[in-house]
Amino acid sequence: MEKKTLLISEIFPPKNGGSGRWFWELYTRLPKNEYIIAAGKTDNDKAFDKTHDLNLKRLNLSSPSWGIKSITGLKFYWRVFNQIRKLIKQHKIKTLHCGRCLPEGFLGYLFYKILNIPYICYIHGEDVEAAATSRELSWIVKRVLTHATTLICNSQNTANLILNNWQAKPDKVTILNPGCDTTKFIPAEPNFKVKETLGWGNKKVILTVGRLQERKGQDMLIKAMVEIKNAIPDALYAIIGAGKEKQKLEALVKELNLNSNVLFMSEISDEQMIQAYQQCDVFALPNRTVGQDIEGFGMVLVEAQACAKPVIAGDSGGTAETMIIDKTGFIVDCTQPSPLADKLIELLKNQEKQQTMGKIGRTHVLKHLDWHVHTEKAKKLFSNQKNYN
């Protein structure tokens, strides 16, 4: 009988988030009869779950506390532990895949201790860095890292974090980058009608896709737009995403008198998002480290390159691993606006360079970062995991 595996992930479509999209793309390509998914409940999940054939169960995996010192945290783990134990019994689960260290990894650790079920844990970078700010959460994460059979890191940068800061055992650490569906994210010819529907007109467009949060750096690129606008009056910064920083960012745009040069595009369809990648001139993820908060990898940079667009990212976290530096993209100091503005002006003024970098970027993604490449790596990795039981 085939040994079944349960993936536990609070972040899973239709909930937005790079890790959830990673799991969706990967687990939809794995044999459906071998994998069960315990995914977090979220808005519109019932409608979404009618569109796929995954063996999926929705659980309430959200909690204001993932520690174990509070009554709230203890109640959360007790409730979810019992729900997952029923799934394990019902489906005869032999291995667990945990979407993050907290809370999923700690649940994996509990099942390992109580039922002797081995687990692997995905590490994204920002998750372990956030836990490092709390003694209680650090204690939990150390146990998760110590007892997992495998730690899957989204980048070498993330692997270095757990090796150097958390003393993870090197033989447990493996790297599996998030990838891209190169059959969906494809290059397209410039199309004025499409740009019109996106609200861009005929402007030169810098695009960012991602949550509106401090480490993503949308604020710094808005500041850089002052210089960019002076050099290229018809430049537009299009921002796709929602998040807690939106009001601050909107206020900054108003303060700098950039209403005609910055466009917030919070709610758009996947089809429109791909069109945005295809029709922009340059893609930027101006990320920076904020306290312990880092960008673990940067899937959006891969998607942009798949659409044959040059990319620019901050010199923080794992973003450098998404590109061939200076050939498909640039790494820039994004803690201040001028370096960002200089590089974007240089690129926006050189269409030939944009096209050359874009072609190399598309080839790079096809060869190294396509989901089919990653799926084959994952199958081998998970096959070895099953040998533990």
Could you give the number of structural domains in the chain?
2
Same domain, 133 and 234: no
Instruction: Decide if 185 is inside a domain.
Output: no
Instruction: Decide if 184 is inside a domain.
Output: no
Same domain, 376 and 358: no
Same domain, 324 and 234: yes
Instruction: Decide if 186 is inside a domain.
Output: no
Same domain, 24 and 100: yes
Same domain, 34 and 49: yes
Instruction: Decide if 145 is inside a domain.
Output: yes
Q: Mean pLDDT, to the nearest integer, of 20-33?
A: 93
**Per-residue pLDDT band at 2 (split at 50, 70, 90):** low
C-alpha 191: how far from chain center: 28
Q: Mean pLDDT, to the nearest integer, of 301-320?
A: 95
Same domain, 198 and 342: yes
**Per-residue pLDDT band at 387 (split at 50, 70, 90):** very low
Same domain, 220 and 126: no
Same domain, 58 and 82: yes
Same domain, 223 and 297: yes
Whether 172 has a pLDDT exceeding 80, the answer reads yes
Instruction: Decide if 10 is inside a domain.
Output: yes
Range of the domain at 272: 192-368
* Rounded Cα gap, residues 126 and 218, in angstroms: 18
Same domain, 363 and 291: yes
Same domain, 250 and 316: yes
Q: If you write DSSP's letter for every residue of 31-66 in order, what string do you get?
A: -TTTEEEEEE--TTHHHHHTT----EEEE----S--
Compute φ and ψ for 194, nearest 5 degrees. -65, -45
What percent of the chain lies above the pLDDT cut of 70?
98
Q: Mean pLDDT, to the nearest integer, of 297-323?
A: 94
Report the pLDDT value the prediction gives residue 17, as an integer from 0 to 100.
79
Instruction: Decide if 105 is inside a domain.
Output: yes
Same domain, 113 and 10: yes
Instruction: Decide if 15 is inside a domain.
Output: yes
Question: For residue 295, is it left (φ>0), alpha (ψ between -120 and 50) or beta?
Answer: beta
Question: What is this structure's pTM?
Answer: 0.85
Helices (H), the chain: 18-27, 45-49, 71-91, 106-115, 126-131, 135-147, 156-164, 192-197, 218-231, 246-255, 270-279, 299-306, 337-348, 351-368, 371-386
Instruction: Decide if 335 is inside a domain.
Output: yes
CATH number of the domain enclosing 342: 3.40.50.2000
* Rounded Cα gap, residues 223 and 335, in angstroms: 11
Whole-number average pLDDT of the chain: 93
pLDDT tens per residue, range 194-225: 999 999 999 999 999 998 999 999 999 999 99
